[in-house]
A = this chain, B = another copy of it.
Amino acid sequence: MKNRVITISREFGSGGRTIGKKVAEQLGISCYDAELIQKLAKESGFAESYIKEAGEYTPHGFLSLAFSNRAQGPTNEDILWDLQYKVITELAGKGPCVIVGRCADYILREKADCLNVFIHADMAFRAERIVNVYGEREQSPEQRIRDKDKRRAAYHRFYTDMKWGHAQNYHITLNSGVFGIDRCVEIICGLF
């Protein structure tokens, strides 16, 4: 019997990560977020590869993916993708959990019994939220949101060929700005 895994994809600032953590808490299962997965992947081997191809990788350079030169072998993004793929597959094999981001919905599509969730909200809700959560930056919150969402969509599209934010790719999508974080948590827990 495959493990039950909740995957959460989300627009930047929509509270998807917070929702994931709260869902995991309520259900008493683990929550792995995008940063943690990236960290685990790097620890498991990225450091070496990074040294070999130093300079090409930029932590926020996903938009340039399509233009990377693969003629000389895999890019650092590709290596990191492979490592994340392995880490996510391993985590899902350990037991029921919540995984936020990193295309876990795609990676686990035949490996786990997934509940695939997408969280979004309107610009005003997200702009206010990212300033509260991450603080002010030189760039406007709206510009930060547009940049980050573009990167997520491009990353998702490049590695999965699935359309990010398309209802048909998820079992449920929720507007956290309208329902609020806690109501979203409640609905997702009810469906687990």
Contact = CB atoms under 8 A, between A and B. Distances in A.
Interface of A: 11, 118, 120, 165-168, 170-175, 178-179, 183, 187, 190-191
Nearest to A164: B167
B172 A175 contact: yes
Please report whether the interface of chain A is mostly helix, strand, loop or mixed according to DSSP: mixed
A171 B179 contact: yes
Given A165-B167, A166-B166, 15 more contacts: A11-B168, A118-B167, A120-B168, A167-B167, A167-B170, A170-B175, A171-B175, A171-B178, A172-B172, A172-B173, A172-B175, A172-B179, A173-B173, A187-B187, A187-B191
Given A172-B172, A172-B173, A179 B167 contact: no
Contacts of A168: 11, 120, 165
A152 to B, nearest CB: 13
Nearest to A122: B168
Contacts of A11: 168
Contacts of A179: 171-172, 191
